Amino acid sequence: MQEAAALQPETRGRPGGARQVRRAPESSRRIIVQRGDSLSKYASQYGVDVQSLIAANRLSSPNDLEVGQVIMLPPENVHRVEQGETLFSAALRFSVDTRSLAVMNGLERPWVVYPGDELLLPPGAKDGGKVRVAVRPAARARPAETAAERAARANQPRLAVNGPAVKDFIWPVEGKIISDYGAGASGLRNDGVNIEAARGAPIGAAAAGEVIYVDEEVEGLGLLVLVAHPGGWITAYAHAQEALVKTGQMVAQGEALARVGASGKVTTPQLHFQLRKDGDPVDPGPMMPG
């Protein structure tokens, strides 16, 4: 996977000028309604969603069509890259798969984008708010795993595929919270919680969803797994030592995603766990079983 550059924001503009999305002329977006036409037919034919068609034409209902009526396809859904944004964070912001966004825009690896660049988005993609990934403070490199730790990891049982849940989410591991959500005594903000756990312990999915990222290219977080859930929720699991899933895989609640480690800028085995709604960090505590 070569997404490292897609995760590191560029601070200067693109050499030679920002990339721009080519807009289709208005005449090519005009449709004359024929007998038997419907918005669902247009949506399928032109790759747009019905709600976008309704909004673009100020229709009162999907059935508000007459033969000879002019229907306008919605204009291209375009996002201008902001300072500090990367292809990865833009994909999270609009709930789009990173690879799909790269392919849609004809980007070649390593998928670098610059402030001011325009990105073509899927027609129905909604802005969930700018995403900021927390970076942990610097620390010593992790120690090598001992024979005893390897044996403990091998004997560690996996989590149940469908673990019980008191609420919508469950805790991904059992252990003591060693770093709470929010601003700490040092003044650094933690967008999640850090949970002390045995090295090699399985990290379970807090809810069912789709794995959208597995890699270790975000500075300080080590091996990171992201899972997208219905309703604009994303959960993040960092500092893992081994991934057990792949990008694009569907997982059940409680299914093991990775194993606890000390990757990134931490020195003891732990899980950094984040819960995000529409791109914004949410305190996991009130959302979890007691």
| pLDDT tens digit at each of 290 positions of the chain | 333 444 567 878 899 999 999 988 888 889 999 999 999 999 888 888 888 889 889 998 888 899 999 999 988 889 999 988 888 778 878 878 777 888 889 988 778 899 999 999 987 788 876 654 433 333 333 344 455 444 443 444 333 323 333 348 999 999 999 999 987 665 677 888 999 999 999 999 999 888 988 988 777 889 999 988 877 788 999 999 999 999 888 889 999 999 999 999 899 999 999 998 876 788 988 888 76
Query: H or E segment at 160?
Result: none
Same domain, 52 and 31: yes
- 139 in any annotated domain: no
Round to whole Å and give the CA distance between 88 and 96. 9
What's the pLDDT at 8?
Answer: 60
Round to whole Å and give the CA distance between 183 and 187. 6
Supply the CATH number for residue 116's domain. Answer: 3.10.350.10
| 135 token code pair | 């970076």
Number of domain units in the chain: 3
- 128 in any annotated domain: no
- 141 in any annotated domain: no
Same domain, 222 and 272: yes
- 136 in any annotated domain: no
What's the pLDDT at 131?
Answer: 54
Question: How do residues 222-248 score in pLDDT, each as one tens digit?
Answer: 999 998 887 778 899 999 999 999 988
- 68 in any annotated domain: yes
Same domain, 177 and 114: no
Closest to 198 in 3D by CA, of 232, 221, 162, 173: 173
Only one residue has tokens 């990222």, namely: 213
How does strand 189-190 pair with strand 182-183? antiparallel
Chain mean pLDDT for the chain: 80
- 249 in any annotated domain: yes
Same domain, 158 and 52: no
Is 212 within 8 Å of 225 (Cβ atoms)? no
- 40 in any annotated domain: yes
Is 155 within 8 Å of 148 (Cβ atoms)? no
Structural domain span for residue 277: 147-287
Same domain, 153 and 260: yes
What's the pLDDT at 185?
Answer: 63
Closest to 234 in 3D by CA, of 36, 117, 95: 95
- What residues form DSSP beta bridges with 256? 204
Same domain, 160 and 282: yes
